[in-house]
Amino acid sequence: MMTLANRLVLSLILLLFSCSTPQKEIVSINGNTMGTTYTIKFFPITTNPNEIEENYILIEEILKDINQQMSTYIPSSEISAFNKLESTDWFVISEDFSIVLDQSFKYYDLSNGLYDITVMPLVNLWGFGPDIFESPPSNAMIDSVKAFIGQDLIEFENQKIRKKDSRVQIDLSSIAKGYAVDKIYNALNKYEDLFIEIGGEIRTKSKTKDWKIGINTPSINNFENDIELVISLNNLSIATSGNYRNFYIIDEKFYHHEINPKTGYPISSNLGSVSVISNQSCLDADALSTMFFTSDNFEIIESLNGNESLSILLNEDKTFSKIFSSGFPRN
């Protein structure tokens, strides 16, 4: 086993509380997963020198297990095996995969099909997958792929899934990171102050710590990670979807990775990003941020108890406007 020094990046940040409260050291465990990075912060609750390394091992095991079930970039994963399947036979999946899949149907129904995990072939067609990309697809190519897009082309029951059309492929990346955050949160729930972040999807627990979260300015030229808004995020989750990180420009035309599964084309709007706060789970925040970015229906958030949203729009003069739901924090 590699040593803690080799495998962990530990940052010890001295936090000062009131005069009656002793100084505490917050530990940060950092790593790589799901094509991005993760950060976990907490106050150790024992003097056991192995506490931090044990947590690191636990976190890595959780992430490895989720990736082995749901990563489309691992050829041997469950989801890759299902996507390669050229039949309509039932396919047995693991518990985590089943939970995430079940939740995806909830948001498919809520969005009237605009949140759709079968959009993967369209995402690849537009050059946001592993294939070499040369030019935008033709209308005929898009129409041919749309024939097997739609979550109603999947049947799911009791940890089993099957395709109604053997060409169907699924991608859970719009919800899996949020689920991973939740699973680590539950595993480390003994800590009274806890911060979990995977690729910008965040969940916190707070008793004494006021967690401050920065929401990026959604500009393709934001190389310095400029912050548009800073908020307190305590005992809540937040996730953000945007068009400013994953895109390309051809013949001065901007294409980004958020694809409308009904039209087959990238979303065309002045919406730069959508951030969703949830008091229920990070999975919910993750799925809702994607759903709202795709549907552009900001009003529905007011009917979803425990969830709030911030939409940042790009104006013609290159400035930004913000649309807050009624309960989204402003400070």
Range with lowest mean pLDDT among 28-32, 48-52, 125-129, 166-170: 125-129
Quote the pLDDT of residue 242: 77
Is pLDDT above 70 for 313? yes
Say how many Å lie between the first and final Cα of the chain, rounded. 45
pLDDT of residue 297: 66
Q: What does pTM read for this prediction?
A: 0.88
pLDDT, mean of residues 243-252? 57
**188-230, pLDDT tens digit by residue?**
999 999 999 999 999 999 999 999 999 988 765 645 568 889 9
Domain boundaries in the chain? Answer: 89-171
Q: pLDDT (tens digit, 9 = 90+) per residue, 78-107?
A: 999 999 999 999 999 999 999 999 999 999
- pLDDT recorded at residue 245: 60
Average pLDDT, the chain: 85
Contact 284, 237 (CB under 8 A): yes
- CA–CA separation, 260 vs 263, rounded Å? 6
pLDDT over 90, % of the chain: 61
Instruction: List Cα–Cα distances, 13 to 27, 212, 227, 230, in angstroms.
Output: 7, 15, 22, 20
Cα distances from 154 to residues 164, 244, 265, 318, 322, in angstroms, run 6, 31, 22, 42, 37
- Domain 89-171 architecture: Orthogonal Bundle (1.10)
